[in-house]
Amino acid sequence: MEQGFGDIFQYARFLPALKVMGAKKVVVLCVPNLFGVLGQMECIDQLTNLTESGPAHECDYWIGSMSLPYYIDCSMPYVKALFPITNTKVVGSEGYFEAEPSNIPKKIGVNWSASKGTLHWIKSISAEHMESLVGSDAYSLNPETDGNFYPLPNDGWKKDWSITAKHMKAMKGVVTVDTGTAHLAGALGVKCVVLLPKEEFVCWRWKNARWYDSVCLLRPHEYDQLPEIIRRM
């Protein structure tokens, strides 16, 4: 799997295409805190984090997950028909991960900080700004700090995305900046509002296709729509 957690969640939808194209065995190489989420996909025969030995090392072909759409586009017509990629619809946009909801009281979940890396500060907003938009009656999905929001149970969710997924499924919805939180919510089919940065810094993936049916995108000049969207949630 390639790049950040959000990229991994986003492109996992294409993994079944490998079996359709004839792969006898699919081994996914990723970090252990993704095993619980990705392990529910029937097309994956084995998960591993070992690079120098074991099943991944023994494979006769490696491919990065973000290259899968290219190979689908080059494949037989029946494969392309099963995995459509257009400006209006991308396969799996209806939600392709599942999780049993946890028993937390229903509230909105929020994350105001993008993952450390390229454009981190540009894509993030302050905790105070998020509170001014949604109020404080929400759960923090930020693994570094809770701000003035309610903390989630100390059950290991910060190190295991499958536990995060269970909490998300119990929430009324999620409000987040452009980070892995948005992609997990979308892949689960959880109602989610993504607060995008200024137009010149909006990521290509939010411009060129509808990746998730449950995700609503807001530009900075549209942030004032949040109270009404949350009310509908």
**Radius of gyration of the chain measured on its C-alpha atoms:** 18
Which tens digit of pLDDT belongs to each residue from 208-229? 888 999 999 999 999 999 999 9
Quick check: 138 and 187 in contact, CB under 8 A? Answer: no
Provide the pLDDT for residue 58: 86
Q: Which domain holds residue 44?
A: 5-82
**In the structure, what pLDDT confidence band is assigned to residue 37 with cuts at 50, 70 and 90?**
very high
Q: Is 12 contained in some domain?
A: yes
Q: Kindly give the pairing relationship between strand 138-140 and strand 108-111.
A: parallel
Distance CA 210, CA 224 (A): 22
Q: Does residue 91 lie within any of the structural domains?
A: no
Distance CA 54, CA 28 (A): 12
| DSSP assigned state of 90 | B
Q: How many domains does the chain have?
A: 2
What does the mean pLDDT of the chain come to? 93
Q: Do 66 and 144 fall into the same domain?
A: no
- How is 162-214 classified by DSSP, letter by letter? HHHHHHHHHSSEEEEESSHHHHHHHHHT--EEEE---GGG--GGGTS----TT
d(CA 139, CA 166): 13
Calpha distance 132→48 (Å, rounded)? 42
| pLDDT attached to residue 36 | 96
200: tokens are: 């010149």
CA distances from 157 to 165, 166, 186, 188 (A): 9, 9, 18, 16
Same domain for 159 and 70: no
Percentage of residues in the chain having pLDDT higher than 90: 79
Same domain assignment for residues 30 and 130: no
Q: Rounded to an integer, what distance in angstroms lies between the CA atom of residue 115 and that of residue 182?
A: 12
Q: Residue 86 — pLDDT band, cuts 50, 70, 90? A: confident
104: which 2 tokens? 């937390």
Q: Where are the beta strands (DSSP E) in 124-169?
A: 138-140
174 and 136 in one domain?
Answer: yes
- Single residue among 47, 82, 117 that ends a domain in this structure: 82
DSSP 8-class letter at 48: E
In the block, which residue shows the tokens 């400006």? 87
Q: Are residues 143 and 197 in the same domain?
A: yes
Q: Which of 44-48, 53-57, 84-88, 181-185 has the lowest mean pLDDT?
A: 84-88
pLDDT of residue 89 exceeding 80, the answer is no
Contact of 185 with 108, CB cutoff 8 Å: no
Does residue 206 belong to any structural domain of this protein? yes
Neighbours of 39 (CB within 10 A): 13
Enclosing H/E stretch for 71: helix 68-73
Q: Establish if 55 belongs to a structural domain.
A: yes
Highest mean pLDDT (candidates 84-88, 92-96, 194-198): 194-198
Is residue 45 in a domain?
A: yes
User: 168 vs 92, which has greater pLDDT?
Assistant: 168
From start to end of the chain, where are the E strands? 27-29, 46-48, 108-111, 138-140, 173-177, 192-195, 215-218
Percentage of the chain exceeding pLDDT 70? 100
pLDDT tens, position by position, 117-135: 777 889 999 999 999 999 9
